[in-house]
Structure 1
Amino acid sequence: MLVLKSLAVWILLLIGAMLNGFAREQFLEPLLGESIALPVSGLILCTWIILICYSTITFYGKIPENAYKAIGALWLGVTLAFEFTFANLTQDRSWSDIIPMLNPLTGNLMLFVLLITAISPWGCAKFKKLF
């Protein structure tokens, strides 16, 4: 049941990420330019992840500390699987096209988004004193 609940919350994260990407392309890039819009979008997505996690963390009920770490690992795994599969199948991008997205020096904060995705369940639970 924990896995299903975790995946349900992850779908909210996915929806937010997709809306964030749409907003970046349609509004932020024309307004700010790509070099500024990309990191701003990354910060917005990190904030979204933390807000959703904080809002839903009690949804899991009473679980041990390690379960929150497992939720983060699951979210990270499905995020990576989705990112690589989606990019490969729908955008015809290879792994070598995707790997540079993990370099924050390019302005892309994907590495930080992945880190926030992985640690936010544990961090939000710790902040709310759930363990």
Structure 2
Amino acid sequence: MIVIAVLNGTIRDFVYKKYVGELLARQISTITLILLFAAYIWFVINKYPPATSEHAIYIGVLWLVLTLVFEFGIGYMSGKTWAQMLEDYNIIKGRIWILIPIWVAVAPYIFSGC
């Protein structure tokens, strides 16, 4: 999922952000990342199905934690402040990034059919 996320962000920054602006570009890339993650998670869950609904929930929580550790770890290592890193979670300002960790957490359960 890291490779998918990095490629998605790279395409956003180098292809369409200059045409649509920062906020809309982030909104578009959030939606495209949800769709790309959906395809990837569907594939993984179908190839390696969880045995129980509890296992599917465990997978989602694990992926959620790993996603947040990666995101905030990269942000911290690149010198961003907590305020800067949390900006993407400010729905009032049109930031919808919070949908990504929510999706990563619930998608394994949804696709597992448990």
Q: Letter of the aligned partner of 1:81 in structure 2?
A: V
Runs of 4+ in 1 over 3 A off after TM superposition: none
Choose from 65, 79, 103 the match for 1:77: 65
1:17 maps onto 2:12 in alignment:
no
Choose from 93, 97, 101 the match for 2:80: 93
2-structure distance, mates of 1:62, 1:125: 7
- Stretches of structure 2 that go unaligned for 5 or more consecutive residues are none
Aligned length, in residue pairs: 114
1-structure distance, mates of 2:92, 2:34: 17
Task: Report the CA distance between 1:39 and its aligned residue.
Answer: 0.4
1:27 maps onto 2:15 in alignment:
yes
Choose from 36, 59, 62 the match for 2:47: 59
What is the aligned-residue RMSD (CA, Å)? 1.3
Match of 1:50 in 2: 38
Task: Report the CA distance between 1:105 and its aligned residue.
Answer: 2.9
- Stretches of structure 1 that go unaligned for 5 or more consecutive residues are 1-12
TM-score for both structures, normalised by structure 1: 0.81
Task: Report the CA distance between 1:80 and its aligned residue.
Answer: 0.5
TM-score for both structures, normalised by structure 2: 0.92
